[in-house]
């Protein structure tokens, strides 16, 4: 069950609640306007084997992160991209995503839309070929984590996958690493969602806190004092998306 901390900070599990089903896709919405967010969302998208329907993006920037892959092709407006685990994907407004899962197990993507449109999902027929006369997008909307150099901030690092460098002017997607211990409380001038990729810890919002682990989904309101504590002995790794876009290194200590 979701836990709501001070200021509206919300922590839930990745498959909490009843999913929306569209063909071979199941979708869990963990952060959205109905759950207190102002303009950002966090959705878990699970694709079973086979070809998905086309999922239309609306008038927003959508960023996705592929958690796992046996053999995955994503089609963006019909253009094909072979992708592997730990890959960021950027959808421009009005683009259509189709996914072919060639493996035997479901694949999972973490999606954020900024600003979140009113509709949950708009689905159309699968689109696996670009329109006649269309030009392949440049730069590529697909970014592998392994291809991005880490940026150091004190004893931490982060790698930006999706930002204005590949066209996303509204949202920034990054992966960050937190060593054991607790950093100083701080706040940001943006809304943020987090997904825990590795490790265990506690999410602090003001004087309140709750345990977090792999698969935890976190919503941080703009201006909320918070920090992530790594209570384990290894790395606490997270996926983050924030809106409006900017640098993950910018924060304001209390």
Question: Nearest to residue 169, comparing CAs of 41, 42, 61?
Answer: 61
Does residue 86 fall inside a structural domain?
A: no
Is residue 87 one of the residues assigned to a domain?
no
Asked if the structure places residue 195 within a domain, the reply is: yes
CB 73 within 8 A of CB 126: no
Give the torsion through C-alpha atoms of 8, 57, 96, 122, to 10 deg. Answer: 90
Number of domain units in the chain = 1
The model scores a pTM over 0.75: yes
Q: What is the pLDDT, as a whole number, of residue 121? A: 78
Residue 252, pLDDT > 70, answer no
Residue 89 pairs with which residues in a beta bridge?
64, 142
* Residue located via tokens 């259509």: 96
| Containing structural domain, residue 240 | 146-247
Tokens of 24: 């071979």
Q: Using an 8 Å Cβ cutoff, are 65 and 88 in contact? A: yes
Q: Is residue 70 part of a domain?
A: no
Q: What CATH number is given to the structural domain containing 236? A: 2.60.120.10
Q: How many CB atoms lie within 10 A of CB 134?
A: 11
pLDDT at 83: 97
In a domain, 154, yes or no: yes
- The reply to whether 227 falls in a domain is yes
- pLDDT tens per residue across span 120-169: 778 899 999 999 999 999 999 999 999 999 998 877 899 999 999 999 99
* pLDDT (mean) for 216-234: 96
pLDDT band at 180 (very low <50, low <70, confident <90, very high): very high
Average pLDDT, the chain: 94
**In the block, residue with structure tokens 């990054």:** 174
CA–chain centroid gap for 161, Å, is: 11
Of 49, 23, 203, nearest to 124 (Cα)? 23
Angle in degrees, CA 163, 169, 174, rounded to 5: 25
Q: Look at residue 173 and tell me if it is in a domain.
A: yes
Residue 62 corresponds to which tokens in the numbers above? 């959508």
Task: Write down how long the chain is.
Answer: 254
Residue 203 falls inside a structural domain: yes
Token digits of residue 171: 């949202």
């Amino acid at each position: 069950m979701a836990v709501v901390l001070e200021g509206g900070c919300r922590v839930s599990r990745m498959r909490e609640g009843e999913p929306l089903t569209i063909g071979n896709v199941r979708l869990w919405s963990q952060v959205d306007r109905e759950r207190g967010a102002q303009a950002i969302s966090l959705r878990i998208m699970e694709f079973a084997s086979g070809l998905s329907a086309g999922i239309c993006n609306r008038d927003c920037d959508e960023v996705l992160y592929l958690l796992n892959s046996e053999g995955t092709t994503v089609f963006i407006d019909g253009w094909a991209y072979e992708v592997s685990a730990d890959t960021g994907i950027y959808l421009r407004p009005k683009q259509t995503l189709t996914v072919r899962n060639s493996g035997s197990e479901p694949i999972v993507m973490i999606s954020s839309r900024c600003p979140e449109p009113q509709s949950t999902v708009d689905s159309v027929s699968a689109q696996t070929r670009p329109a006649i006369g269309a030009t392949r997008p440049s730069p590529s909307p697909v970014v592998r984590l392994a291809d991005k150099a880490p940026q150091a901030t004190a004893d931490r690092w982060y790698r930006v996958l999706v930002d204005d460098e590949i066209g996303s002017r509204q949202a920034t997607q990054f992966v960050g690493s937190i060593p054991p211990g607790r950093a100083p409380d701080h706040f940001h001038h943006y809304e943020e969602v987090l997904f825990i990729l590795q490790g265990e810890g506690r999410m602090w919002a003001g004087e309140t806190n709750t345990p977090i682990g792999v698969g935890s989904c976190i919503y941080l309101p703009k201006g909320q004092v918070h920090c992530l504590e790594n209570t384990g002995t290894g790395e606490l790794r997270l996926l983050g998306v924030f809106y409006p876009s900017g640098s993950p290194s910018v924060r304001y200590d209390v």
